[in-house]
Chain A
Amino acid sequence: MGWAADRFGAHNTFAFILAYSGLMSIASSFAVTYDVLFVERLVVASAGISFVVGIQHVSQWFDEHEIGTAEGIYAGTGNAGAGVGALVLPRLYGTHYSDAFLHLGLVALGIAALYKWRGEPARDAAAAATARANTGLKSTVYVWTRYAAIGLMLAYAMSFGLEIAMNSWLPAYYATGFRDAIADLGFTEVAAIQTAAGTFAAVQSFNASLWRPFSGYMSDLWQRKEWTPYPFLSAEQSYAPRVHWLMTALVLITVMLCALTAAGVLGLLPVSVVVLAGFGIAVSFGTGGVFAIVPLMFEERPGVAAGFVGGVSTAGGVVYPLVFGWVPDIHLGYATVAVVFFVPFIAFFVWAMRSDRTLSAHGIGSRERWLGRERTVPGGDD
């Protein structure tokens, strides 16, 4: 979808996604069998691919010194929509879910029409033309083979990949790992335990979404103040302070993950939940920090780069829960993921970002290898 946003314009791509998911949502309101409903809702769920389209569109419209805040507000506030929907829709529609599907589908179609009618691919025609001209296969492979892009992809796997993993894992973790402590609070029935565990788990996703704009703002601030505190990272690139801010986030995420294990092993439910809130904030620092860099690192290929970083990293949502469940002691899964995955990820990130070599030279194959010697478009990703 990132490629499509570069190629066809984000407004066309986003309108297409909203249109098909809106139509399918309307169709699902008339489903009479579970199988049909399941398939139709599966298609509606695919609307999540619109994330990278929006990242690309924001990058085409906002200035470099404000890009972190702009991307953060788009992505953070947008993700909070899922939580708001979960809170509001049951209270608004009760058990009449088909009415909710119908109304949301109509709203999606309306927004699709508005986006298509009023949307422009970029602030100026040159930026849109540059993105469109860089959508070839070799251009895509060039992005995928830059070590810095791989480092950012791993950083996003450490943040957003972990966020979606925790969304699915945490309710079961608290219901199982803190069953006795939750029972002591007065929740003894199965449904009551699930509700309490869900409340604790929601602390993570809520904070991870709503603090994300602040992370983008902090990235802008570090860039403005030119803060580069880590001597083992390069300070040469124009976006170096943003990389240093992201490094801070990655360390915080790893420390918080180990603290979750410590609180669990000690059986301290209140401490675990407070750490979880801090963990959610650290995750938001990571997610906001990554996409404050991607559009600046790949100015000519924002959609392709956003698709690579934002798409591949979601594999963490599947892999981490498998590790959490595989470790015999349910509390040790977090520290295991931190040691086995995150320490090597950070090591690669540092190695990729400590180099003073240009983006074009620091990767698998040179820029010339993938793009040829002749430049067909103005500007450059360096």
Chain B
Amino acid sequence: MAERERWYRWGRIVLYAEMAIAVCVTVFSLAMAFTGNAGFLA
């Protein structure tokens, strides 16, 4: 198996962080919308 470069570890951290942000913002925004308080993400 080819050896990974040093950046790859940080790259994975970034992509997991981006997924977590996507999930959190989506849940928060939809919760606001379904309780009549939309406007955060739009």
Chain A residues within CB distance 8 Å of chain B: 63-66, 69-70, 72-73, 76-77, 80, 87, 185-187, 192, 195-196, 198-203, 206-207, 210-211, 213-214, 216-217, 224, 270, 273, 277
Contacts and interface: CB of A to CB of B under 8 A. Distances in A.
Report whether over half of chain A's contact residues are helix, strand or loop; otherwise say mixed. helix
Which interface class (under 10, 10 to 19, 20 to 34, 35 or more) fits B? 20 to 34
Interface of B: 1-2, 4-5, 8, 11-12, 14-16, 18-19, 21-22, 25-26, 29-30, 32-36, 38-42
Nearest to B32: A199
Q: Which 4 A-B pairs have the closest CB atoms?
A: A198-B42, A186-B36, A213-B15, A210-B22
B20 to A, nearest CB: 9
Contacts of A195: 38-39, 42
A273 B31 CA distance: 11
Contacts of A87: 41
Contacts of A200: 30, 33
B18 A80 contact: yes
Nearest to B39: A195
19 contacts: A64-B2, A73-B11, A73-B15, A76-B18, A186-B36, A187-B38, A192-B38, A196-B38, A198-B41, A199-B32, A199-B38, A199-B40, A201-B42, A203-B26, A203-B41, A211-B19, A213-B11, A214-B15, A273-B30
Nearest to B37: A186
